[in-house]
Structure 1
Amino acid sequence: MSRHHQEDEPIDNERALQQLAWTIQASAGKFKLIWARCNYSNLENRLIERLHENCQIKIHILHLKESEKTLYRAICEESGDDVQALMIVGLESLGDLPQMLTNANQVREEFQKTFSFPIVLWTNDENYQQLMQLAPDLESWGTTRSFAGSPKK
């Protein structure tokens, strides 16, 4: 059974990647929050590369700094008139992820008021669990795409 599951992973990831690209393109010009769940940085990097190739709109990438305190401010500093979509990476490297998630949940209305483009936040399962506990309202606003794989892939 596990062998069959491993064989399906690339197909499942390809399908999830196509759905993510479609969601980003369909959400151009309006706020949309998307959680991309992936536990392996090498796979995440490959998926992001493929997303750039497959998506017809330009996607900016925001690399969060370890010292970052508020997600909203980080996005404000990165976003300009030319941003069609934004991908955020680096949640796992934050010094105080619980504080950032709590802050983001408190100002969630501002995300929708301020940003008129889709935002994709890459997260692993551990950080996603924290998100559900500390920022349930923000989490519920988003759609989730999960990517499977192993560290060797």
Structure 2
Amino acid sequence: MPEEAALDAENLEAFEDLLVSIEASQGVLSLLIAVCDSGQFRDELIARYEAELQPDIRCYQVSLIRGEPSLKMTILQKMQEDEPLKLGTQSVVMVTGAEQLYFLKLNEEKSEQDIFFGYLQWTREALREFRFPIVLWVTTQLLTQMERKAPDFWGWRKGVFWFESRKTSAVSSSQLESFRPIFTELGLANSEDEILLPLADLQALIEQTEKNQPDDPLLATLYGQMGRIYAGRLKWGEAIDYQKEQETAINYFRKAIDLQEAPGQEESLAISLNNLAVLYKSQGRYEAAEPLYVRSLQIYEQQLGASHPNTQKVRENLALLRKKMTRSTP
């Protein structure tokens, strides 16, 4: 059973409140906003609503079109495909896909999210023809932008329903010190507000840097920070797909290590070697982890001395690993 399959008290209250709003909104347009940072948890919730509402109320799920993220056009397309929805049968439309839209412009005139909010801002009157509740599923990051970028739509909302989850697909801008030079170029560095950035945007930003500036020394730092971000998500239970994010963290640390072999990056290299070893150890790959710990320890001893806290920490990590290896040996 999924970790969040059993709803806690707060999520159960939000679930029931949204259920009542859907039932009370039949035959009229009602704009409802559901906030959930975990796609898996959101899908579980939508499945619950389908089970609760049917057969009395049809529950439709539609996804925004990535290149043309118009709420109205997405719903109209579904109506053309489904006769009961078109005829006004009791129903609710659950709209997902906004969480996949990029926050950053990435060399485009507008970001995908800006295009979405632009459509949303001028959508209110156009939605009048719909005689059923619409549940727009967004993340916390999207919600924080909506009030400012689509105030007209925001003013028409009939309710906001929060579903709490430890799992999230975004990271706070305060955790991204290594990205500051790039943020400065994008005009984000001087923002007074704390910005939640989708992980997909950060990955795309790195890919763009790899393509346009493959020799940029900043890449090694970005790789290392992204590896630490993903490793932290694993540690604190924030990962949406644990195995996939574990491999992502490993790949970023490997990339960082390749670039940190250059002179002058010894301490950064030691950090990445230790972090990669920790991940290998968590996978039970002890033979792969041991030489990484050994090399990290050697670098720290040369650079910082045997008594430095960083040196002692890696020495402790190596000792614990070897103890595990001894116990696992037949």
- TM-score scaled by length of structure 2: 0.41
Higher relative contact order (CA 8 A, sep 6+): 1
Go from structure 1 to structure 2 and tell me whether the alpha carbon gap of 1:63 and 1:107 turns closer, same or farther (over 3 Å shift).
Answer: closer
Deviation track 1:126-149 (CA, whole Å, cap 9, x = no partner) reads 011121111011012111001112
**Structure 2 residue 101 is the aligned partner of structure 1 residue 94:** yes
Structure 2: runs of 5 or more not aligned: 1-6, 86-90, 103-111, 168-236, 239-330
User: Corresponding residue for 1:65?
Assistant: 65
Task: Tell me how many residue pairs correspond in the alignment.
Answer: 144
User: Corresponding residue for 1:6?
Assistant: none
Deviation track 1:29-70 (CA, whole Å, cap 9, x = no partner) reads 110000000111121111111111122411110012322232
Deviation track 1:95-124 (CA, whole Å, cap 9, x = no partner) reads 51211211221231111x210000000000
Determine which of 21, 24, 30 is the counterpart of 1:23.
Answer: 21
CA contact 1:29–1:116 (8 Å) conserved in 2: yes
Structure 1: runs of 5 or more not aligned: 1-8
CA apart distance, 1:81: 4.5
Q: Identity over the aligned pairs, expressed in percent? A: 26
User: Corresponding residue for 1:76?
Assistant: 76
CA apart distance, 1:73: 1.2
2:152 counterpart SS class: helix
Q: 2:84 is aligned with what amino acid? A: D
**Structure 2 residue 92 is the aligned partner of structure 1 residue 85:** yes
2:33 counterpart SS class: strand
CA contact 2:63–2:74 (8 Å) conserved in 1: no
Q: 1:66 is aligned with what amino acid? A: R
CA contact 1:102–1:134 (8 Å) conserved in 2: yes
Determine which of 32, 38, 41 is the counterpart of 1:40.
Answer: 38
CA contact 1:64–1:94 (8 Å) conserved in 2: no
Q: 1:147 is aligned with what amino acid? A: F
CA RMSD of superposed structures (Å): 1.7
Whole-angstrom CA distance in 2 between matches of 1:40 and 1:66: 19
Q: 1:128 is aligned with what amino acid? A: L
User: Corresponding residue for 1:53?
Assistant: 51
1:82 counterpart SS class: helix
Whole-angstrom CA distance in 2 between matches of 1:64 and 1:104: 12
